[in-house]
Chains A and B, each alone.
Chain A
Amino acid sequence: MQLATIIKAQDTLGPMSAKRSNAPTLLDCERVSKIYHGRQGPVIALEEIDLTVPRGEFLSVVGPSGCGKTTLLNLVAGLERVTGGRLSVSGEVLNAPLTDVGIVFQDATLMDWRTVLDNVMLQVEVRRLPVEPYRARALDLLSNLGLEGFLDAYPSQLSGGMKQRVSIARALVHKPSLLLMDEPFSALDALTRDKLNVDMQALCLAEETTTLFITHSITDAAFLGDRVVVMTPRPGRIAEIIDIDLPRPRPLALRETPQFGEYTGRIRTIFESAGVL
């Protein structure tokens, strides 16, 4: 499976948002709130989040530290319960951990005792999926992510960027309907990040997974997202949701264009008027 050919084929379909405008809803948040009861009294982590994500969308969430991004991800993954409102995935209200999901954490969270390929196959083993077809898919994903020479390497022999690539392959190998990423690139240097942005975009175009991509970086959010959810802290709220109407695949150079600058400028203005910047 050549990534380049997939992308060319996808290109003829035009921008993703046009294709997905009438796709069925995957994730639906209605006035979702989350209050933590900590030692210093209650903390409102999220307040009245309204958000509808259609299948196949790449949704970026950007906001400063403490605005509840990780909380939102934990709620969507069913790892924590909402304290108000309604959160449903594929039409069903969540009351247990979501399993039709792949998660990429900030640190790659690889099993040090497993090789690269076995780390990806962990997903398959735990889910008791048939090994042979999924092994082929794991190999495919790993080679698309440039790791074909490292299948038998242990995580301690990999760079940070490579570890995060393994983690991405692991999150996708079982074809989940939802991909959740919590600041996956924030521990990486700028160049590695750029490259992963490009690879991530190519993968998501090929995979058609719905993606919730949490980041601190306005540039990453706008570059990858079909839409960008802009959040502000204390209490965590959605300030605005911005459509990014730029054709795909988006080359890195797009970030230097005035259209792109307009989007990032708008996001920055929201943060400024909220007193974040």
Chain B
Amino acid sequence: MGQALQRNDGAGAPAKARGTRRRARLSERVGDIAYPVGTIVAILVIWEIACRQFDIPAYLLPPPSSVLATIVARYDLLAMHTLVTTGEILVGFLLSIVVGVVLALLITSFRPVERAIYPLLVISQAVPKVAIAPLFIVWLGFGWEPKVLVAVLIAFFPIVVDLVAGIRSVPSSMRKLALSMGANAYVTLYKFLIPHALPHLFAGLKVGVTLAVSGAIIGEFVGADRGLGYLLLFANGQMDTNLLFAAIVVLSVIGVVLFYLLLLIEAWLLPWHQTQQSPEN
């Protein structure tokens, strides 16, 4: 009967492995940064050499060094427009999280709502956003509002779809467990369904944030007097390819930074999830 007190069904004590695992994870993280940075540097070097070697005119393809020089020289201009666009992206993304989460909860909680709303959601995505953006300008004017609206309209969709899928994937045994504990609808939602669906939600958020960037730019393309989308069109009209590239670089940096911020939040909120564990686990 003493054997009842022993444990021998596999897996070493986690404490022991922790030191080596942390080291492995650190080198994994360093690699996560080193590989893409190395690739980008290599591409920039080839680009620079090619521009100089073949004497490509600057209005076609400026070398990275001159794009960088432009960014430094016109820092104030870029910063002003960056601030405007970043604001639109953030407001649009946060609103699309609210809209997406509320819709997903309604859809998964009430069957009639699902039947009424889901087809409309699909239609809302079938309509090309560039086509209806002018309408938003007519309704909302030339301020930040139509840009935010376009961003929301594109970005909320993956959030709804992924969160609905996440809540749907809750196993029936988990729902039975909640019932047997006497959990009401609210407790079931925040102690069982939402935590289970969080990894799915983050998958949707990662797609959503990049779409919010596109949405804000589309909105600015259609009608704006400020913002990086406006600056892109302006630089294009002036044949100022250096400025064009500078704006594109800034825009990409915004997208990448927001994406990695999400990754950080995810790692902090979901330390237990497989995506947070190094491959050898």
Contact = CB atoms under 8 A, between A and B. Distances in A.
Interface of A: 2-4, 7, 74, 77, 79, 97-99, 101-103, 105-107, 109, 111-114, 122-123, 125-127, 144, 146-147, 149-150, 152-159, 161-162, 192, 195, 198-199, 202, 249
B13 A149 contact: yes
Interface stretch (B41-49, B190-198, B209-217, B244-252): B190-198
Interface string B13-44: 11100000000000000000000000000000
A198 B3 contact: yes
A126 B181 contact: yes
B14 A152 contact: yes
B10 A126 contact: no
Contact of A127 (B11, B173, B182): B182
B127 interface: no
Given A3-B5, A112-B196, A114-B272, 9 more contacts: A77-B180, A103-B180, A109-B177, A113-B198, A122-B191, A146-B4, A159-B9, A161-B9, A198-B3
Nearest to A153: B14
B187 interface: yes
A180 B175 CA distance: 16
A249 B2 CA distance: 13
Main secondary structure of the interface of B (DSSP, over half): helix
Contact of A146 (B5, B15, B192): B5
Contacts, number: 108
Interface of B: 1-11, 13-15, 171, 173-174, 176-183, 187, 191-192, 195-196, 198, 270, 272-274, 277, 281
30 contacts: A3-B1, A3-B4, A4-B2, A4-B5, A77-B176, A77-B180, A79-B180, A97-B179, A99-B181, A99-B182, A103-B177, A105-B173, A109-B171, A109-B174, A111-B192, A112-B196, A114-B272, A122-B181, A125-B191, A126-B178, A126-B187, A144-B4, A146-B7, A149-B13, A150-B11, A162-B10, A162-B11, A192-B9, A195-B9, A198-B1
